[in-house]
Amino acid sequence: MAFIACQNYINSSIYDRYGSIDDKLILYKMGREIVNGGRTEIELIIAVANYYKHRDDKNPLHRGTREVLNDLKLNFSKTGYPENLPIIIGAGILSPSFNLDDFTKIVTDWRELLWLND
């Protein structure tokens, strides 16, 4: 649920700043990159939130979600142990201590970047 709350905060922040979320994919690329991942923390949050919301859908995950999860080597198959799921691994990447305050700092720092970005 933390990932979904952060996703809503991220997209609402984009809307607050620009009046639409048309350029969200470009804006997700702003901010800190994940070491050896080539993706940003924001891209990880969005991908894990989408994974969580759509993991049981009949259709496969959206291509963009699959690409981020693949780039970060996060297993998104429907099999495996819970500790190997993107939610758990992703949370550990963002906060090794699994502290939700770290998630809040990531998204609020990123929101500040939106206002500095022209």
In the numeric block, the tokens 């819970």 are attached to: 82
Domain range for 42 is 1-116
- Residue 54 — very low, low, confident or very high, per pLDDT cuts 50/70/90? confident
Instruction: Tell me what pLDDT residue 103 has.
Output: 94
In the numeric block, the tokens 């720092």 are attached to: 109
Q: Which two tokens stand for residue 62?
A: 């959206």
Is 62 in contact with 50 (CB distance < 8 Å)? yes
Whole-angstrom distance, CA of residue 27 vs CA of residue 107: 12
Neighbours of 66 (CB within 10 A): 15
- Residue 77 — very low, low, confident or very high, per pLDDT cuts 50/70/90? low
Is 98 in contact with 92 (CB distance < 8 Å)? yes
Whole-angstrom distance, CA of residue 62 vs CA of residue 31: 23
Instruction: Tell me what pLDDT residue 73 has.
Output: 87
Domain total of the chain: 1
Instruction: Tell me what pLDDT residue 45 has.
Output: 97
